[in-house]
Structure 1
Amino acid sequence: MSSVIKIAVDAMGGDNSPNKIIDGIVHHHASNQSTFYKIFGDEDKISKLLNNKISKNNFEIVNTLNKVSSEDSPLEAAKRGKDTSMWLAIESVKKKDCDIVISAGNTGALLVISKLNLKMINNIDKPALSALWPNKTGMSVVLDLGANIECSSKNLFDFSVMGASLYKSLYPQETPNVALLNIGSEELKGNETIKETYQLMNEKKSNDYKFCGYIEGNELMNGEVNVIVSDGFTGNVALKTAEGTANFITDELKKALSGSLIGKISSLLNISNLRKFKKRLDPRLYNGAIFIGLDSPVVKSHGGTDYIGFANSLDVCCRIVSGNLIEKIKRNI
């Protein structure tokens, strides 16, 4: 594999694009000099924003004025044409011009257009949407987060293998613990699909991960499990609940520390710890969901993030490529 990582970037997706996309590229490039960015979008706007901030050897702009909007349904986005910035970025990965593609645009459209352009990895039936979550000791990979509402035991088994491969790509020195999200830790708990998946996972032995059975929702953040697997419906509910709880805690803490003189004095005395707390719950640090199961990696940046969040998702792209994610999945499947 070439030492230069080539990222196809949809510059027109998400809020405040292409401004935040280009600012994110500039920020990311400052500490990733060997990355090449193939940028798809409005060349006039992109050129003005780049304005010699990175070397011309590290980027190429592919001009297109057509883009997928956030209001488009996946079907409308696919019909919009093959000259949208999203479609062309994905197509560049299909053609092997780039190693990985990233977009902050419409999630449903990104999944559909990716599936239209890219093949599935052999023996995998469905791609999954995965993301990084913080826990007490570091990070966890959680999947599926909404790509597949209904899943078979084979799908969940595949997600387990893919999630473990993703974790291993991001953290090469660690062997992940894998668990199935369930309503209890006992073998008898859960529906038939999850019980069948438990049996499949128990029978499959691997040196790349350790199967740890079931995990309940209240244990997601304890750090004992690194890869958490569920169907897309359950995973999405868990994700939104976790995000909402984190926002609730942060907002309530702000009120408590700014609502009275004692609170303000307390916040000044604890400013170092409060900064650490804020940083730990900063969603920009965990930006970058990954569609896995396709024969090329596709990364989805949150549409509402800023340039720091987008730069962090570019870093996820680099780690996925350097960690040989697709090869790991093929070997384990």
Structure 2
Amino acid sequence: MASLKTIALDAMGGDHGPEVVVPGAALSLDRQPALRFIFFGQQSRIEAVLQQYPALAIKSRVVHTDLVIAMDEKPSQALRHGKGSSMWLPLEAVKAGDADAAVSAGNTGALMAIAKLVLRPMAGIERPAIAALWPTIKSECIMLDAGANIGASADQLAVYALMGAAMARAVFHIERPLVGLLNVGTEEMKGNEDVKGAHVLLKSADALPLTYKGFIEGDQIGQGIVDVIVTEGFAGNIALKTAEGTARQIGTYLKAAMTSSFASKLGALLASGGFRVLKEKMDPRRVNGGTFLGLNGIAVKSHGGADAFGFASAVDLAYDMADSGLIARLSADISDFHDRPSVAGAGGIPPQSSAGSALGKA
């Protein structure tokens, strides 16, 4: 039987606010009846939508706040003026133990900055990473970092591997996830020094709770040959945005080709079942939700423009991670990794002055 979990929601975040957040929560509740919700935001607006979903209303409560962080607000401004906002309060609820996870479709930079301040990074982690689900030919994989930090040391990349593996155990229920390092080639002499250093660390560290598969290239991301792909935030974000744009481009090409003549329209009609399956597989809403890994609590970022279906996917992800005991398991993995002779002998985790934070540039 599924355990009862409470999800704290930023009801005002994203492009649509409660008009998407509330229906999204209702969809997730249909799939996970053990869920409970706390909505943070403008009470009258939330309750106007919530009354359309009686089953959800019974399992929810609303906490009013008029303060909302704008989608274009700088992280530094959000930290100074955002306390008590619909974004800040869900994270406070997680910290206080009133909620098991927080979900917001709001400003990514602001959410990361506030989450880092409120929930604090785990011991041994200086820079949390954004982990994103990625559709593959086989099923799905996890990529991190998807944009939280620009650059990463060898030690950071090795820790990202542990964080991604912990998430894969939670979401995919794989005890020893396959992990690959994104690189410009699969040969050991290729890549920058940080990537090559992480390769050595992951190969040499004993008894890690993962199976390290070595380097993978960009054209292998969608092949599903690994469960976790590790990279730094600059390359990860570009790869993610490139894939999203390519998917839209292919969709545009297909639509144009299938409507270019009577024969092609007839062919499209006959192949409509196959196109429907293709559309479902390429639907980014199914994998909506980026997770801030490395914090003492679960925070999930939904795409700001997501509809109810997409937001429900982010809530589902938050539930899976909370239900799996992710935080405790990851904390133990990180502690074990830092205690290993191969890491301790190298001086542990050095000051991370060479890797910049994307938040500081937002």
Structure 1 length as normaliser, TM-score? 0.97
Report the equivalent of 1:130: 131
In 1, Cα distance between equivalents of 2:74 and 2:226: 36
Q: Cα deviation per residue 1:21-45 (whole Å; 9 max; x = unaligned)?
A: 0111112112221101011001101
Report the equivalent of 1:301: 302
Matches within 5 A, 1:1-333: 3-51=3-51, 52-173=53-174, 175-206=176-207, 208-333=209-334
Q: Secondary structure at the match of 1:124?
A: coil
Report the equivalent of 2:357: none
Displacement, 1:240? 0.9
User: Percent identity of the aligned residues?
Assistant: 39
In 2, Cα distance between equivalents of 1:229 and 1:86: 28
**Contact 1:178/1:227 (8 A) holds in 2:** yes
**Contact 2:29/2:56 (8 A) holds in 1:** no
In 1, Cα distance between equivalents of 2:174 and 2:198: 27
Closer/same/farther in 2, CA of residues 278 and 191 from structure 1, 3 Å limit = same
For residue 161 of structure 2, what is the amino acid of its counterpart? S
In 2, Cα distance between equivalents of 1:65 and 1:226: 41
In 2, Cα distance between equivalents of 1:166 and 1:217: 21
In 2, Cα distance between equivalents of 1:206 and 1:285: 33
Larger displacement relative to structure 2 (114-123 or 202-211): 202-211
In 1, Cα distance between equivalents of 2:174 and 2:131: 20
In 2, Cα distance between equivalents of 1:207 and 1:139: 22
Q: Secondary structure at the match of 1:85?
A: coil
Q: Secondary structure at the match of 2:304?
A: coil
- RMSD over aligned CA atoms reads 1.2
**Contact 1:168/1:208 (8 A) holds in 2:** no
Any stretches of 5+ residues in structure 1 without a counterpart? none
In 2, Cα distance between equivalents of 1:160 and 1:59: 36
For residue 94 of structure 1, what is the amino acid of its counterpart? K
In 1, Cα distance between equivalents of 2:57 and 2:217: 50
**Contact 1:26/1:53 (8 A) holds in 2:** no
In 2, Cα distance between equivalents of 1:147 and 1:312: 21
Report runs of 4+ in structure 1 exceeding 4 Å deviation. Answer: none
For residue 28 of structure 1, what is the amino acid of its counterpart? S
In 1, Cα distance between equivalents of 2:87 and 2:208: 37
Displacement, 1:60? 1.0
Closer/same/farther in 2, CA of residues 254 and 278 from structure 1, 3 Å limit = same
Displacement, 1:56? 4.4
In 1, Cα distance between equivalents of 2:215 and 2:163: 17
Report the equivalent of 2:354: none
Displacement, 1:174? 5.1
Q: Cα deviation per residue 1:102-134 (whole Å; 9 max; x = unaligned)?
A: 000000000000111112111112100011001
**Contact 1:38/1:61 (8 A) holds in 2:** yes
Any stretches of 5+ residues in structure 2 without a counterpart? 335-362
For residue 17 of structure 2, what is the amino acid of its counterpart? S
Q: Secondary structure at the match of 2:66?
A: coil
